[in-house]
Amino acid sequence: MTENDAPIPALSIEQMPAGAFAAALGRSFRDYGFAIVADHGIPPDLVAQGWNLTARFFALPEAEKRRYLVEGGGGQRGYTPFGREIAKNAKAHDLKEFWHVGREPQGGLPLPDGMPANVWPDEALPGFRACFTRLFDQFDRLGARLLRAIALDLALDPDWFVGPTRQGNSILRLLHYPPIADADRTEAGAVRAGAHEDINLITLLLGAEEAGLQLLDRTGRWRAIRPPEGALVVNIGDMLQRLTNHVLPSTTHRVVNPAPERQGLSRYSMPFFLHLRPDFLIDPLPGCVTAANPRRHEPITADDYLHERLREIGLTGEKR
């Protein structure tokens, strides 16, 4: 470990008793806004198939990938090309392209209002839909387990998040950061992902073993996040920060460009942005508002908040 690595412990969700896991997760979130979760139970062969399909999709010719660009869709489904997203207040666009998978309709229920249908590149890549529908489901269940632990740590009913996240507007993002040598870096100071906070409740991220991800700690220092092989990086997003009146902090993070010897390589990662139901009203939890920590935000629905934030990062102009 170098001096600037974040000393975040890897917590085993399988081996630790539920109460101890919840307390350790809560401590890691309060200290860093981030936690590392080992033994998360997403089947390794499914993850391996996901990486394989991700690499094959991004290796397709640009014109083929752009067939899955949903114009006017705010980048919420399908393909978003290189150079489109920009971190709030950043001067240069991120050096990345990505694909978004949303929730599939389940049990005969239509998707809630405002949640767009998925697009799939099955013509080019048979098996893509089946693989990422399964992975979405795995992340969804694991996210619900983590929210139970968070509820426990916040002294809420362990099922507190079940209703607010039912048919939530979660998104699985497949990310490709091309080799720096190939990336069009005409914008000065461009990095793989500029400093930002996530919009959603919590983010579950696979793939951060390839260096680059850093968090901004409380003392204002950037610290590298280095999970063990296959472990999950979890972080608090702005919606949970808002709901907990900043008791759980949404920590600024970024992905920096690699050292010279890794610049010829792509970096791939897979964040699952766990969202609330679009109509859920985000209002600070009573237990998180105290004399020492007075209410910081007025209530807003998850959907209104999402669109306010998407506009700021260049992904949408209008509310759908």
Ligand X SMILES: O=C(O)CCC(=O)C(=O)O
Which residues here bind Fe ion, judged by CB under 5 A?
198
85 binds, among ligand X, Fe ion, none (CB under 5 to 8 A by kind): none
Closer by beta carbon to ligand X, 249 or else 284: 249
Closer by beta carbon to ligand X, 153 or else 251: 251
175 binds, among ligand X, Fe ion, none (CB under 5 to 8 A by kind): ligand X
Closer by beta carbon to Fe ion, 120 or else 222: 222
Q: Using the rule CB under 6 A, is 142 a contact of ligand X? A: no
Task: Compute the least distance from the CB of residue 187 to ligand X, in Å.
Answer: 19
List binders of ligand X among 210-229 (CB under 6 A).
213
Length reported for the chain = 320
**3-class SS of residue 121:** coil
- CA pair distance 166, 169, nearest whole angstrom: 9
How many chain residues are in contact with ligand X, going by CB under 6 A?
Answer: 11
Q: Stretches 17-25, 123-131, 205-213, 299-307: which one binds ligand X (CB under 6 A)?
A: 205-213
**Choice from 269, 282, 306, 313 touching ligand X (CB under 6 A):** 269
> Cα separations (Å) of 104 from 55, 101, 140, 168?
23, 9, 12, 11
Smallest CA-to-CA distance from 121 within 68, 157, 76, 166 is with 68
Strands ordered across the beta sheet of 193-196:
193-196, 253-255, 213-216, 222-224
Closer by beta carbon to Fe ion, 94 or else 198: 198
Q: Are 264 and 233 in contact (CB under 8 A)?
A: no
Helix ranges, the chain (H):
18-32, 44-58, 62-66, 128-153, 162-165, 238-243, 302-312
Q: Which residue is nearest to ligand X (CB)?
A: 269
Contact set with ligand X (CB under 6 A): 173, 175, 193, 198, 205, 208, 213, 253, 255, 269, 271
